[in-house]
Amino acid sequence: MIKGKDGTIIPKVVIERLPRYYRYFDWLENKMEKISSKKLGDLIGSSASQVRLDLSYFGDFGQQGYGYNIKKLKHELVKILHINIERKFIIVGAGNIGRALTRYNIFKDTDFTLKALFDINPALIGEKIKGVTIYDVKELGAFVKENSIDIAIIAVPKDAANDISAILIQNGIKGILNFAPLDLNVQESFPVENIHIIDKILALSFMIS
């Protein structure tokens, strides 16, 4: 359970919307000084009242008849989202997705760093991608523990994903971003976010028919 300023539990859907707010404030910062909840809602695709409710969990940023001060709110969101805190990441699986995430600079604008990649394929072990080494997956547990890794990105085939997540959790990982096309068998309270590309494609295929 994640709690807001006054101790109320913040729903997961609200947390998942915060990075959107951040992206918009980052983009608006040099364009305008303040924005109304109505206009902000139009931008991110929700109502004015939803915007006010979402942001109220974290304190009272807006002012009646004035709106939100963009610089100030962006600064607050940086703190709330811990964008300026050093977070250590690893990627398990150095296949197409793992490699693309390493090459594509996902962590720019944050203080997050990618410490290592892991793979089961002996031919890949020791290779470096953008300066990040691929290690043998046998070393995964020890590495996570010794280096106090915060978040792991799982980009392994479906059948291996649950074994990997068990090793990660046993060794103190705090959160998982899962690209494998299944729902990980972890405790409900454990922080997991999923990116299921095929689900999005199937939903689109349905929507266009």
Interacting residue ranges for a copy of itself, rule: CB under 8 A: 2, 15-16, 18-20, 22-23, 27, 43-45, 80-83, 85, 87, 95-97, 99-101, 103-104, 106-107, 110, 112, 150-151, 174-177, 181-183, 188, 191, 193, 195-209
Task: Give the nearest distance from C-beta 163 to a copy of itself in angstroms.
Answer: 16
Distance (Å, rounded) from C-alpha 84 to C-alpha 15?
Answer: 17
Kindly provide the b/e burial profile for residues 27-40, where b requires at least 16 CB atoms within 10 angstroms of the residue's own CB.
ebeeeeebbebeeb
| Smaller CB separation from a copy of itself, 64 or 205 | 205
**Minimum separation from the CB atom of position 97 to a copy of itself (A):** 6
Q: What is the DSSP string of 154-194?
A: E-S-HHHHHHHHHHHHHTT--EEEE-SSS-----TTS-EEE
Which CB, 32 or 202, lies closer to a copy of itself?
202
Select 68 or 89, whichever has its Cβ closest to a copy of itself. 89
**In the bound complex, what is the minimum distance in angstroms from residue 42's beta carbon to a copy of itself?**
11
Q: Give 32 or 203: the residue with its C-beta nearer to a copy of itself.
A: 203
Smallest separation, CB 202 to a copy of itself (Å): 4
CB of 69 to a copy of itself, least distance (A): 21
DSSP 111-168: SEEEEEEEES-TTTTT-EETTEEEEEGGGHHHHHHHTT--EEEE-S-HHHHHHHHHHH
Closest-CA residue to 165 (of 140, 146, 147)? 140
Compare residues 72 and 130 and give the one whose CB is closer to a copy of itself.
Answer: 130
